Amino acid sequence: MRWAMSTSSEAIAAAQAYEDLHVPALMAEWAPRVLDAAQVGSQQHVLDLACGTGIVARTALHRVGPHGQVGGVDALPGMIALAQRLSPGIVWHHGRADELPFDDASYDAVVCQFGLMFFPDRPAAIQETLRVLKPGGG
């Protein structure tokens, strides 16, 4: 299922509040640790699931360098709209983790900092993660 992306000013304001409050207080400090655990490095293709405003994706962009690629997926249009404003060099997608719009074995690493608990169908999201992850990926 695909959704139309309509982004209200309220949705963007909520995303901005998340970026201003939660990212510095909770998320920013853990982004490098998530990427370390997935062994993200130069030239990799990385996907950030439930990316929110994109702190993990933005951090990954510095690690993968100019020959890597980073994408982010979130179900909330306001989060994606703000993420696009904050970092247009990342490929942002509005969508669900249990219906990823990517080819099999597309990514060297798929990370999710703070989203699994919110996925309506966790087993399907994990299956999709494994589907888009390259063999031996993190």
Collapsed DSSP state (helix, strand, coil) of residue 30: coil
User: How long, in residues, is the chain?
Assistant: 138
- Strand segments (E) across the chain: 45-49, 69-74, 91-94, 109-111
| CATH-assigned architecture of domain 9-132 | 3-Layer(aba) Sandwich (3.40)
pTM for the predicted model, two decimal places: 0.89
The whole-number pLDDT of residue 23 equals: 84
Tokens standing for residue 129: 């993660």
The whole-number pLDDT of residue 123 equals: 97
The whole-number pLDDT of residue 107 equals: 98
Q: State pLDDT tens for residues 31-85.
A: 999 999 999 999 999 999 999 999 999 999 999 999 999 999 999 999 999 999 9
Extents of the domains making up the chain? 9-132
The whole-number pLDDT of residue 2 equals: 37
The whole-number pLDDT of residue 66 equals: 95
Any idea which residue has 């669900």 for tokens?
96
Q: State pLDDT tens for residues 85-136.
A: 999 999 999 999 999 999 999 999 999 999 999 999 999 999 999 999 999 8
The model's confidence at residue 3, banded by pLDDT at 50, 70 and 90, is very low
CB 5, CB 91: distance < 8 Å: no
* pLDDT at 1 exceeding the cut of 50: no
CB 112, CB 47: distance < 8 Å: no
Q: Of 77, 81, 26, 96, nearest to 55 (Cα)? A: 26
